[in-house]
Structure 1
Amino acid sequence: MTIKVGLIGCGGITAPHIKGYLRIPEQAKVTAVSDVVTENAEKRAAEVGGAEIFSDYNEMLAKADIDAVDICLPHHLHKDAIVAAARAKKHILCEKPLCLTVAEAEEVQKAVSENGVTLMCAHNQLTMPPVARVKQLIQEGTFGKVYEIRTTDSFYHTFDPNSIGWRGNRAMIGGGELIDTGYHPTYLLLYLASSEPVEVTAMLSKHRLEFMDGEDSAQVLVRFADGAVGNIVTSWAYEPTSTTEKFSLVAEKGYAYSNGKELCYKVRGGEEQKISYEGVDTFSEEIKDFVTCLQEGRRPVNTEAEGINVLKVILGAYKSVEEKRTVTLADLV
């Protein structure tokens, strides 16, 4: 069965999503697009070889011949689009973050559950081959009990007041860099930890992008239910050192680390192993996994449940900074 997809939002992030659908024409086809900017919608419709165009996604949900939607909107618009799509009985792929508050997350969870649809969080970095391999090694018990995990995503961003757009507005982005790029190392941390996050302590910084409402850099410590500790490092302010890893972990029986292209790991008493991988288009892999999940009736790796945990870590980090204390995530409202 070919999955018919409607795009909600046709801005810049839509481009790698479309590339993903075009790579699997036998599995999926974008048949409708919606955007308040007509030119954006027309551009995306042309890129997919023709699609029905709507200015209002609610009209698209009511009239278009689609099985699923792909939400590529600014952060503050995610919740309403997810809820509307769920009520229209459409499956959902939503760009990160899932939404912006615990109350919004509860609405999302309720809508998805009541309407029996599949929601997948667009966490593209989980499709990197070193991530999949180290997750397998962790699950097989290769490293024993995991003690500490570190994930990073930092780069020198060329944003200025004229180019940052809605990301410079705290109400629209939901904070600053942490809830945007910082979302990637957060979901990666939780994926590798395989345990519920329970406490968060954070420090936020505005090193360089002074015009932003929110932070341009963040460091977050996370305590997990099994005692493991996670460390998230993320920034738009600087170029990281050449030795900065994408992720690393230390554990009872050994360690592992990766730059995103290679995986190095060692079990105590043995030699360090190094595996190199071919590069993959993580967005295309994400799209293919979403479509395949729908075709096979399989649960996505990261649903709204995982998305809510990721959001709570970030909201806990913001609360930690505001109140200058360690925040218990179960207390977030």
Structure 2
Amino acid sequence: MTDIIKLGLIGCGSHGCGNLLPAINTAQNAHIAACVDIDESKVKRTVADLGIENYYLDYNEMLREIPIDAVVIALPHAEILAAAMASINAGKHLFIDKPMALNAADGQTIVDAAKDKQVKVMVGYCQRYAAGRMLMKQLLAKGVVGDIDLVIAGKGSGPLGGWLVAPSEQGGGQLLFLGVHITDQILWLLNDYPLSVTGEIQWHEKGYDETSSYIMRFPDDIVASVSLSMNTAGGLDFIEIFGSAGRIRADWPSNIVQVRTNAVEEYRHPATIMVSGDNSMMYGAQMRAFVEAVRTKSDMPIPGEDGVKVLRIIDAVFESNRLKRPVNFMKNTKNR
């Protein structure tokens, strides 16, 4: 494989073209060889604006005709699986924007197929690269909260539209759109996996989950409580962690971190830290990490297995709401 990684983008919507393409362009060793979208006017405009040589309306044609090393998928949730499997069968490494699939079974299908074809998958949980959340993880490693006891998190937006308000089995709703993000953040920050999930969902009359809350119970009696809504004017995105020595909270996209602790002298008095960094830096760091992993044949920083773990929890929220009881996992899967 050459030092320049040739990429194909499948999906020229607002996220693919507005966030991921500019982020890819920050990677010195990346070259966007082709774009795909079923909307011809949109994909023509994309390649013209960015000087990309090739465009297609069908990703199967791109996979047959263009010599690329990897594929970036930014599609509506219900369309991800087919595009991922076609790319894997063509022998291409994959960046799949979250949630990677509609459910854990489909996510596992992608992971298993990638292993069979000896290609690698990265899932686009970009908030692991958000400046405030990265600082939060660093301070947790320093022991600012001591033994963790409680996590409270919330994420929301104003009313959604388009395919995001399709019925949940077609990929709509807050759980697959935003719930996966906040769930991944909690697993990453705690470096652990829950033993059980209890969820409650408020459904919109059109069949998508509008407001949800769920509790994850972890080993060592740690409890994480998450609330989601698509009726929060101005947006909502916070994680707050409490422990035996203090507490820490990180908000996004403001990247404001608040911390108070008895364990680290620097933060013995309440401190508010405004961390520099914006969305473009977050997406850029994410895509550079993907390109570098492909170029050096290294492990993906957010592998497909991590995406499946998140989807198992989202599946459990739906199941718990249906059964009106907690869903227990057979065993802790931290190292699976």
Secondary structure of 1:263's partner? strand
2:251 equivalent to 1:259: yes
Letter in 2 for 1:57: Y
Residue matched to 1:204? 201
SS in 2 for 1:151: strand
**How far apart are the structure 2 equivalents of 1:82 and 1:54?**
16
Normalising by structure 1, what TM-score? Answer: 0.89
Q: Which amino acid aligns with 1:275?
A: I
CA 1:126/1:63 → structure 2, altered by over 3 Å: closer, same or farther? same
Structure 2 residue 235 is matched with structure 1 residue 247: no
Per mean C-alpha deviation after superposition, the further-off stretch among 33-42 and 320-329 is: 33-42
The number of equivalent residue pairs is 320
Identify if the C-alpha distance between structure 1 residues 108 and 4 changes in structure 2 by more than 3 Å, giving closer, same or farther: same
Report the counterpart of residue 162 of structure 2 in structure 1.
165
Matching residue within 2, 18, 24 for 1:21 = 24
Structure 1 residues 199 and 17 mapped into 2: Cα distance closer, same or farther (>3 Å)? same
CA–CA distance in 2 between the matches of 1:21 and 1:38?
22
Q: Given the superposition, is the C-alpha separation of residues 71 and 102 from structure 1 closer, same or farther in structure 2, using an over 3 Å criterion?
A: same
The answer for the alignment partner of 2:299 in structure 1 is 299
Contact in 1 for aligned 2:70/2:92 (Cα 8 Å): yes
Assess, with a 3 A threshold, how the Cα gap between structure 1 residues 60 and 264 changes in structure 2: closer, same or farther: same
* Residue in structure 2 matched with residue 328 of structure 1 by the alignment: 328
Conserved 8 A contact 1:170-1:213: yes
1:125 pairs with 124, 127, 144, which one?
Answer: 127
- Residue from 173, 176, 195 that aligns with 1:176: 173
Q: CA offsets, 1:305-332, max 9 Å, x none?
A: 110111111110011111111012449x
SS of 1:117's partner is coil
Provide the rounded CA distance (Å) in 1 between the counterparts of 2:220 and 2:82: 35
SS at match of 1:97: coil
Does residue 135 (structure 1) correspond to residue 132 (structure 2)? The answer is no
Contact 1:185 1:234 in 2 (8 A): no
Equivalents in 2 of 1:240, 1:30: separation in Å? 34
Q: Which amino acid aligns with 1:29?
A: H
Q: Mark the runs of 5 or more structure 1 residues left unpaired by the alignment.
A: none
Tell which has more relative contact order, 1 or 2 (C-alpha 8 A, sep 6+). Answer: 2
Identity of aligned residues (%): 24
> What is the aligned-residue RMSD (CA, Å)?
2.1
Equivalent residues of 2:98, 2:124 under 8 A apart? yes
1:5-33 C-alpha deviation (Å, 9 max, x unpaired): 10112222212111112233x22121111
Are the structure 2 counterparts of residues 118 and 308 from structure 1 closer, same or farther at C-alpha, using a change threshold of 3 Å?
A: same
Match of 1:224 in 2: 218
Aligned position for 2:319? 319
Cα deviations across residues 242-268 of structure 1 (Å, max 9, x unaligned)?
A: xx7611101122211122312222222
Residue of structure 2 in register with 1:194 after alignment: 191
| Matched ranges for 1:275-294 at <5 A | 275-280=273-278, 281=280, 282-294=282-294
| Contact residue 151 and residue 231 of structure 1 kept, 8 A | yes
Separation in 2, partners of 1:84, 1:198:
35
> Which of 144-153 and 26-35 deviates more?
144-153
Distance 1:23 1:184 in 2: 23
In 2, Cα distance between equivalents of 1:85 and 1:226: 41
User: Helix, strand or coil: the match of 1:113?
Assistant: helix
Counterpart AA for 1:181: L
Q: 2:47 aligns with which of 45, 48, 51?
A: 45
- The CA distance in 1 between the partners of 2:244 and 2:151, in whole Å, is 12
